[in-house]
Amino acid sequence: MKVARNRGERGSATTELVLITPVLIVVLLFVVALGRIASSRSEVESAARDVAREAANARSVTEAVAGSDTAARGDLHEGGVTCRALAVVLDTTDFRAGGTVTATVSCSVALQDLVGLGLPASRTITARFTAPIDVYRAVS
C-alpha cells in the first residue's frame, strides 16, 4: 500500500526557517534592549536614593555636595551601569535640621551595540529622590 505524499510542500520548512529566524532575532534584541533600559532605570533610581540619603547624613552643604557625585558613580558601577554622561544635582535649599535634601541623577545609557532595531545610540534616564534630614541632627 502506497501512501500519497503531497509534493507541493517540499522545502516549506526551509522557507519558514528563513522567514522566521530574522524576526526572532529582532524580537530577542528588542527584549534585551527593554531589559537593559529597565535594569538601568532601577539602578539610577537606587543611586538617586542613596545620594539623597548620604547627603541628608552630611554635616554641611559642602560635604553633601562633595560626596554626591562619588556616591552616584559608586552605586552605578556596582550595579553594572555604564553612563556615557552622568549628571548629579543636589537641591540643598532646605538643608537644615528637619528639612529635606533632593538628589536628581541623570545617566545616558548606551544602546548602540544593539544594532538592527533602529534605537537611538543612547537613552537618558533620570531619577529623583528626596530624603528628610533628622530633626535632632546638627547641621551647619
CA-CA-CA-CA dihedral for 16, 18, 20, 24, to nearest 10: 150
Domain spans of the chain?
14-132
Q: How far apart are CA 3 and CA 65, in angstroms?
A: 82
Indicate if the pLDDT at residue 118 is higher than 90.
Answer: no
pLDDT tens for residues 10-38?
667 777 777 788 888 878 888 887 888 88
| Run of H or E residues at 113 | none
In b/e form, how buried is each residue of 34-55, taking b as 16+ CB within 10 angstroms? eebeeebbebbbbbbbbbbebb
According to DSSP, the β-strands at 122-132 and 100-110 are antiparallel
Using a cut of 0.85, tell me whether the model's pTM lies above it: no
Q: Which residue has the cell 534605537?
A: 119
Higher pLDDT, 34 or 111: 34
DSSP tag of 59: S
